[in-house]
Structure 1
Amino acid sequence: MNRSVGARISQWNYSLLGLLLFTCLLGHAQPQAPAAPIIPSVTDTLRISLPDLEQQVLARNYSLLAQRYQIDIAGAAITQAGLRLNPNLWFQTNLYNPNTGKILPLGTPSQSDLEKQTFNSGYFAVQLQQVLMLAGKRSKMIALAESNRSLAQIAFRDVLRSLRYQLYTTYANLYYDLQALNLFQEELARQQRLVESTRIALQTGGAAPYEVTRLDVANRDLQANISNYKNQIADEQATLRILLRQASPTFILPTALPQQTNPAPALSVALDSALTNRPDLALTQEQIANAQRSLSLERARRTPDLMTGLLYERYGNAYTNFLGLQASIDLPVRNRNQGAIRAAELTAKNAGAGLENMQAVVQSDVLNAYDVLNAYYEQVNSRPPGYLDRIQNISVEASKAYNARNIGLLDYLDKIRTYQQAQLNHINLLNNVFQSQQQLDFVTNTKFF
């Protein structure tokens, strides 16, 4: 009699446990579409696509605005270089005449003074001088200023390239990190329901104490993963806020990130595009031209400038009204601008040596990005048909088997962990494909994807 009652109680316990487990695992019984990402609690949420976000960044980013000002500053320097030197006007007169005791004796001399050639008044002198730059210095200064503006324009292109790459990669990381966060939050919610049902079954003898402990450990792992992804998302939000110059705590929520399935360009095309379009390589080439123009200007400065002028002097020279022609020039005996020329020559050599190294860096960047992209493409293409459906079936079949008590808790958790890792690997693979595409676009400065 006691054995029969005990058997009925045990059967009732297992039935109750099965009902509880079926209720908490029902969410895994059928494949479902991905839910909307669960985002942190913030004051406001900005749902924005990548093209719209890019437009806002281009209009508001501080680095771009600062570099635009550098272009304008360089343009003003061209205007300044083209301006001719101002003439110099010099005036002189007698402040005090001790013979007459008069201050500023500017009146016309008396007839008696004119006859005696004694000019106690009326003296003054006016001189007008103009510096003439020789050896084409002015045109060389303009050419150097134009080269400086070209450097500023190329630097702007490089800042723009880096900014877009940072924006695209951060946006994608945020998009896929939110998907991973959503995955782990859903798994945690499901396993918390499982813990509660197992605790109820524990009270009736339908579950062992170690099962509750093991589920608690699994939940701790999920919570650690959730915390890590929240930290990454917070860093990505901070990066986007800096790019946007946004001080408000608005949460930036990516709306969509379609995968580009375009095949990789031919390697020769990628290399040619990089050598043609990379702004950092163009910057090195322009630095060579800039150094050559600077050297040309320093060599021109060996020739001194010519000072010309006119002098009018009244009552103070050989004639009553003296008009003289002036010309002066420094004699380049000791200073022929040797030091500045030598420095400009060394700068030109250094710039020329850097070009070959920069070309090697560009080619290496393209080869590396090309290999990484093809490796991820190969990984995507090697997945057999129906792979994603079979991933979902792991969870479904594990839930059914555990509900029917065909497998134990540890076996069930192992299958669920396999499902979680497979889903996470899929998310990471999509992100890696997008990131490697953007890397190839970045190193070639060409929009292939």
Structure 2
Amino acid sequence: MGKYFFLLVSIFLANIISAQKAEIIYLTQEQAEALFLKQNLQLLAEKMNIEAADAAIVQAKLWENPTFSIGEVNLWSTHTQREQGQIPALFGNFAKNTEFTIELTQLVQTARKRGKLINREKISKEIAIQEFEETLRGLKLEVRESLQELIYLQSYQHILNRQHEALQKLIIAYKNQVAQGNIAKKELIRLQSSQLEMNGEIYEVKSNYNEQQKILKSLLHIPPGSIIEIKETTEKIKNPDDILLSNILEQAQNNRPDLQRANLQIKYFDKNLKYEKAQKVPDLTFALNYDRVSGPWKDFIGLGISFDLPFFNRNQGNIKIAQINKEQSQYWATQQLNLAQQEITEAYNNYHMTYFLFKEMQDENISEDLDYMLDAYMRNLMNRNITMLEFIDFMEAYKNNKQTLLSTRRNLFTQFEELQYTVGKEIK
């Protein structure tokens, strides 16, 4: 009975594990970017600011509502009032012996305030568009850097796993030799120690891999239970000698969203200054009045106009604030341009340096040589042609060199993306 119960439990647990097995999503870098543009929640939320700016323009175009008021209504009439003069009903028995006044007013803005406000809100929309482009620019860099980091970790895991498998084969063989008394046990222990160190590094790399999975899945809005596998691109990276620094410095002024936004801020505060200056001109309020009987004439209809007298408040404070904001925005725009040029120059120099370092590594073709030597060192160790110390030293050198190649490749692609980010456009 116990045997069957154990069997049922094992089958049940196996089914659970099978059901919980993560779905692997294979993506190229282009597919990952397309998914990001379609599904990134932060990007979708930021895009709604443009719709809000459109709504603000619509609101600015609206006229002020007219105001309707009714007053001087008597809720009852006394006997004396009725003896002095009956007030006839308007229709039927409605409003008999009832006095009231009606007034309809309409505010009319002067000095083209409405048009100036519309112009200001249009600049606000352009700023919202550039803020969206800035968010897109930043998130796109984050996605591309995350993709390169994931590719690096995938490849580095393969290298560590290959070394781990090689060590495992040697350990099995050495255990047999130790059992037969052909090899000292200390050599087996040295191999096992190396494997233990490698297990610790595999664990650390796997933890970094899991963290990168979390970041990328969040950016692409992919279910947490899935695993993303990125296919490496075969696209050739651009030679920095084909990129003129003077050209990309000029291109950045027309393409970087933060620079565009800084220039738009100047325009915005200029429009705002004009609007605030217009505010010192009083608006007009036109009125149409109807008085039923309380005036000298029955059913009196009159017109009226009212406006503020700008003796004390001529909007001086808000005009001064608008002038300061405009001057301040000009300083910020100049500072932003200077900072952008410094960023571009630094990114270009870093990319230039890494490109030729990676090209030199490729020309040496050291990666294939290392793979061939790994197999050769394993055979020589088994045949006692090399010492254990020589083999362990080579394994460390193999891992370090492979890691250097992978990290240099990752840095090259990442720095190219950072260069494109600083320019604000794709470098063709």
Into which bin does the TM-score normalised by the smaller protein fall? 0.7 to 0.9
For 2:386 and 2:376, locate their aligned partners in 1 and report how far apart those are by CA, in whole Å.
11
Aligned to 1:285: 263
**How far apart, CA to CA, are the structure 2 residues paired with 1:349 and 1:62?**
36
2:97 maps to 1:97:
no
What amino acid sits opposite 2:264 in the alignment? E
Residues 214 and 224, structure 2, Cα contact 8 Å, conserved in 1: no
Q: Distance in 2 between matches of 1:394 and 1:197?
A: 20
Pairing 1:141-156 to 2, within 5 Å after superposition: 141-156=117-132
Structure 1 counterpart of 2:183, from 207, 214, 220: 207
CA distance in 1, matches of 2:191, 2:202: 17
Per-residue CA deviations over 1:142-169 (Å, capped at 9, x if unaligned) read 1111111111111111111111111111
Deviation for aligned residue 1:91: 2.5
**Partners of 1:382 and 1:258 in 2: CA distance:** 18
Aligned-residue offset at 1:315: 2.1
Deviations 1:84-140 (CA, angstroms, capped at 9, x unpaired): 1111222333322234577xx86259xxxxxxxxxx936432222111101111011
Q: Structure 1 residues 440 and 106 mapped into 2: Cα distance closer, same or farther (>3 Å)?
A: farther
* 8 A Cα contact 1:175 1:257, kept in partner: no
Q: Residues of 2 paired with 1:216 and 1:302: CA distance?
A: 86
In 2, the alpha carbon distance for the partners of 1:434 and 1:246 equals: 24
Aligned counterpart for 1:56 among listed residues 28, 31, 35: 35
Corresponding residue for residue 348 of structure 1: 326
Q: Superposed, which structure 2 residues align to 1:149-188 within 5 Å?
A: 149-188=125-164
Paired residues for 1:332-411 under 5 Å: 332-383=310-361, 384-411=363-390
How many angstroms does 1:440 deviate by? 0.9
User: For residue 304 of structure 2, what is the aligned residue in structure 1?
Assistant: 326
CA contact (8 A) 1:394 1:416 kept: no
- Does the residue aligned with 1:284 lie in a helix, a strand or coil? helix
Q: Distance in 1 between matches of 2:317 and 2:134?
A: 33
* Corresponding residue pairs, total: 397
Spell out the pairing of 1:69-88 with structure 2 (5 A cutoff). 69-88=48-67
How far apart in 2 are the matches of 1:385 and 1:191?
27
Corresponding letter in the other structure for 1:148 = S
Structure 1: distance between partners of 2:261 and 2:279: 27
TM-score by length of 1: 0.83
Deviates more, 1:381-390 or 1:428-437: 381-390
**What SS does structure 1 have at the residue aligned with 2:385?**
coil
Distance 1:248 1:242 in 2: 8
| 1: CA distance, partners of 2:298 / 2:191 | 116
Aligned counterpart for 2:284 among listed residues 279, 283, 306: 306
Q: Which has the larger radius of gyration?
A: 1
1:132 aligns with 2:108: yes
Alpha-carbon distance in 1 for matches of 2:406, 2:336: 36
Matched to 1:371, the amino acid is: N
Give 1:297 shift: 1.3
How much has 1:182 moved relative to structure 2? Answer: 1.2
Unaligned runs of 5+ residues in structure 2 are 1-19, 91-95
Which residue number in structure 1 is paired with residue 402 of structure 2?
A: 423
2: CA distance, partners of 1:427 / 1:259: 16
How many angstroms does 1:380 deviate by? 2.0
Q: What is the CA RMSD across the aligned residues, in angstroms?
A: 2.1
Deviations 1:1-43 (A, max 9, x none): xxxxxxxxxxxxxxxxxxxxxxxxxxxxxxxxxxxxxxxx942
8 Å contact from structure 2 (residues 109, 284) kept in 1: yes
Q: Does 1:241 align with 2:217?
A: yes
Match of 2:88?
107
* Alpha-carbon separation, structure 1, partners of 2:365 and 2:199: 31
Contact in 2 for aligned 1:172/1:431 (Cα 8 Å): yes
Q: Does 1:229 align with 2:205?
A: yes
Please give the alpha-carbon distance, in whole angstroms, between the structure 1 residues aligned to 2:370 and 2:89: 112
**Aligned position for 2:195:** 219
Q: Distance in 2 between matches of 1:186 and 1:387?
A: 17
Is the Cα–Cα contact under 8 Å of residues 237 and 413 in structure 2 kept in the other structure?
no
Question: Deviations along 1:175-208, whole A, 9 cap, x unmatched?
Answer: 1211101110121121022122212212223222
Match of 1:45 in 2: 24
Partners of 2:380 and 2:115 in 1: CA distance: 86
Amino acid in the other structure paired with 1:88:
T
- In structure 2, do the counterparts of structure 1 residues 98 and 253 end up closer, same or farther at CA, with 3 Å as the change threshold? same
Query: Which deviates the most, 250-259 or 72-81?
Result: 250-259
**Structure 1: gaps spanning 5 or more residues:** 1-40, 110-119
